[in-house]
Amino acid sequence: MKILNVMKKHHIFGFVSLVFPIFFLYLAINFKDLFLFICFLVTLLITTLIIFPSLFSSRSVVTIKSGSVRSQKTKNKKHFHKYKFYTSLFSPITLFIFVIITSVFIYLIFNKLEPDSHSHSILTSYYRSLIATHNLQITILLFPLIILSLYYLLILKVHVNRLFKQVLLYIPTYILIVLISSMFSLYLAFLLATFHINIYLNGLVAFPSLYGIVTSKDDIFKNITKLNKPPVIYAVSENSNKNLYLNIISSKDQQRGLINQIVEKIPSTLIFLPKGKLHSLFLIERKLFISRLNKEEIEYISPLITKLIVRNYINKRYIKDEPKISLMNRQEYLSYREEQINKQLGEIDDYIETTIDAINFYSNNVSIDNRNISLAESEISRSIVQRDASYEYCINAGYKSYFTGTFYHLYSKEECDSSKNEWDNYIAKVDNNLNQYRNELTYDQNKLDEFSSYKTEWDNFRILVESQKDNTPYELGVFIPKKTIKIALDSIDPSAISDYLSTLTHEYFHYASYVSEERQLLPFFEEGLTEFFSRRTINKSMDIQNNVGYPIITRIIEEMSKKISEKDLEDVYFTKNEEKLEYLLDKTYGKKFYEDSKYYFVALYYIQTVEGLEFANNLMFKIGGDEITEESL
């Protein structure tokens, strides 16, 4: 009767446990996930084992028809043998070992096991990871057997001589326990992770201080002030609770590896977090989490973060205190940008006017040169005729004596040759002037052609710059001397924080390097060096590759940095020492390189589109760089 009662109780337990495979089947169908379907099959197998243990028994049932007491005892004994495997499986020591092994597996899943990079299945990854941990396998296999041996010796009082045989007989049951426990542990970890996510995230919202989380912007500011390096920034979405949980847990170094892979498989519908309740900004140690961009908080805290980012890269130079940050929406920025473009158009008009003045100047010089050449050529022709006539007269001038018939010359041959030499010297001088006029004409004509070409190009530049009013800008920020930075921010999505900080870092470099309105580098080098340093700074501090701002100019600066040290470029940038810049470029790329290339430096600042590639590649050729293509930008 006791056996029947045990069977009845376990059957009830078995039917109740059908809830688990039904639950996993529902999830597998709903989310079309292979892992959840495997969970369904395994839980169904375990439930079947619980309900119908006889399917796994190798004992045959012996029917005894005798009604005697002895026959009844024999019948009960046979029934007992039928369920011997079953009762062994559910004995106290077996359940105790099952709990121990399950606990070990749970510990491994949450702390030790790493996911297999070659497998996308959790089940495959799990068992491969178990196989790879050889020392842990020995612990899993031997430790429970030691407990079993102690149980036989101390509790059941089994003799030492029979101990090995008893343990050996228990091995099949033990192997089954290990297999069931390993699988059960994975599903239990799935449930525990789901439970922990919900408890943790809701606790984070309701009681952040209990989790060591700082949510007040003033307290966050104070904590960041104490840091020597910028905080690690995580952009988390309220609609992706799993990623939020994984980022927070990984930031606290509590969990890693396989458990993260399990968390990724948890359906989002099983994670319950009140929508809109998550703090927009919170700090855990030196990890800053941003779930949405709040204008007031960002304006308050981002200058300090950016200062730490810049100082972390430029660590041997004084960096000014935080500037005033003002956030604009995109429409406000585009209006401001239109004003800036109009200002650039005014500057281009000044260049065009200067070019027209140069064209007029060299055109006038060409006219003068042509007139001087014509006069010099006429003077040489006239002087040659007069020289020859004068010499002829000088040689033949004289009279014949009436008395002697002798011809007397008025001038000696030496005097005539001397006079001719004077004419020759004069003609040579005029001829030299003629050659000089011709050289001047060549120079002035070349300059006239050059500035006429510049005039055409500046006219085209003006059209292109004006068309940029309708194009997407390369950067959404501006530095206004002496201490104001305006940034365009029209999204509260946390993923925009990387672009925001990249733009702010660029403008912060403008602010940190500002000397005065009078002392500035050419815009080509102001923007090129600013973007060069800000890209490297963001890459070092946030591991973000940003190649958006001023792509053509920055590519040229990067090529220059291969032959000019970054320290020299840094000194030029922060001191605005144009003389040193000119010296470094001329020393590296040849005499008068800076002066001869100035036109390209000026033009490329205004043309940051593919139309500027021709000028950029002319510069790249002069500095020995590779050609820039549209695809490489």
SS3 327: strand
Tell me the per-residue pLDDT of 259-271, one tens digit each, with 9 for 90 and over.
677 777 777 777 7
Tell me the per-residue pLDDT of 395-439, one tens digit each, with 9 for 90 and over.
888 877 777 777 777 888 888 989 899 999 999 999 999 999 999
For residues 291 and 244, the answer to whether their CB atoms sit within 8 Å is yes
Q: In whole angstroms, what separates CA 35 from the centre of its chain? A: 33
Percent above pLDDT 90 for the chain: 22
pLDDT category at 168 given cuts 50, 70, 90 is: low
- Backbone torsions φ then ψ of 284, nearest 5 degrees: -125, 110
The residue ranking higher by pLDDT, 558 or 110, is: 558
* Average pLDDT score over the chain: 77
Q: Give 19-30 as a DSSP string.
A: HHHHHHHHHHHH
The first and second tokens of residue 515, run together, are: 């000397």
The answer on pLDDT for 2 being more than 80 is: no
342-368 average pLDDT score: 90
Q: In whole angstroms, what separates CA 120 from the centre of its chain? A: 26
**Strand boundaries in 236-360, DSSP class E:** 281-284, 287-290, 324-328
269, 262, 315, 294: which is closest to 123 by C-alpha?
262
CA 419 vs CA 376, 380, 384, 399: distances in Å: 21, 16, 13, 21
549, 548, 538: which is closest to 498 by C-alpha?
538
Tell me the per-residue pLDDT of 441-455, one tens digit each, with 9 for 90 and over.
999 999 999 899 888
pLDDT of residue 61: 39
Which of 102-106, 158-162, 580-584 has the lowest average pLDDT?
158-162
CA 414 vs CA 63, 391, 397, 400, 422: distances in Å: 163, 11, 14, 20, 12
Alpha-carbon gap, residue 191 to 43, rounded angstroms: 13
pLDDT of residue 76: 44
Tell me the per-residue pLDDT of 356-379, one tens digit each, with 9 for 90 and over.
999 999 999 999 999 999 999 999
CA 296 vs CA 221, 278, 293: distances in Å: 13, 17, 9
pLDDT of residue 560: 95
pLDDT of residue 470: 62
Burial per residue of 229-246, b for 16 or more beta-carbon CB atoms within 10 angstroms, e otherwise: ebbbbbbbebeebbebbb
Residue 404: partners with Cβ closer than 8 Å, 6 or more residues away: none
309-317 average pLDDT score: 84
Q: Give 358-419 as a DSSP string.
A: HHHHHHHHHHHHHHHHHHHHHHHHHHHHHHHHHHHHHHH-EEE-TTT--EEESS-HHHHHHH
pLDDT of residue 5: 47
The answer on pLDDT for 580 being more than 90 is: yes
pLDDT of residue 239: 58
The answer on pLDDT for 236 being more than 80 is: no
Tell me the per-residue pLDDT of 528-577, one tens digit each, with 9 for 90 and over.
999 999 999 988 877 666 666 788 899 999 999 999 999 999 999 999 99
All structural domains of the chain, each given as residue ranges with its CATH number in brackets, are 129-292 (no CATH), 335-470 (1.10.287)
575-583 average pLDDT score: 94
The residue ranking higher by pLDDT, 92 or 199, is: 199
Kindly report the pTM of this predicted structure: 0.61
pLDDT of residue 193: 81
Tell me the per-residue pLDDT of 492-522, one tens digit each, with 9 for 90 and over.
777 778 888 888 899 999 999 998 888 889 9
For the chain, state the CA radius of gyration. Answer: 46
**Terminal Cα-to-Cα distance of the chain (whole angstroms):** 84
pLDDT of residue 570: 93
Rounded to 10 deg, the angle between the 34-51 and 122-132 helix axes is: 70
Tell me the per-residue pLDDT of 7-60, one tens digit each, with 9 for 90 and over.
444 455 455 556 667 766 766 676 555 555 666 776 676 667 656 655 444 444
Q: What is the DSSP letter of 323?
A: -
pLDDT of residue 1: 46
Other beta carbons less than 10 A from residue 518's beta carbon: 6
Residue 176: partners with Cβ closer than 8 Å, 6 or more residues away: 89
- Backbone torsions φ then ψ of 399, nearest 5 degrees: -150, 160
pLDDT of residue 140: 57
517, 524, 624: which is closest to 564 by C-alpha?
624
pLDDT category at 468 given cuts 50, 70, 90 is: low
484-488 and 477-480 as β-strands: parallel, antiparallel, unpaired?
antiparallel
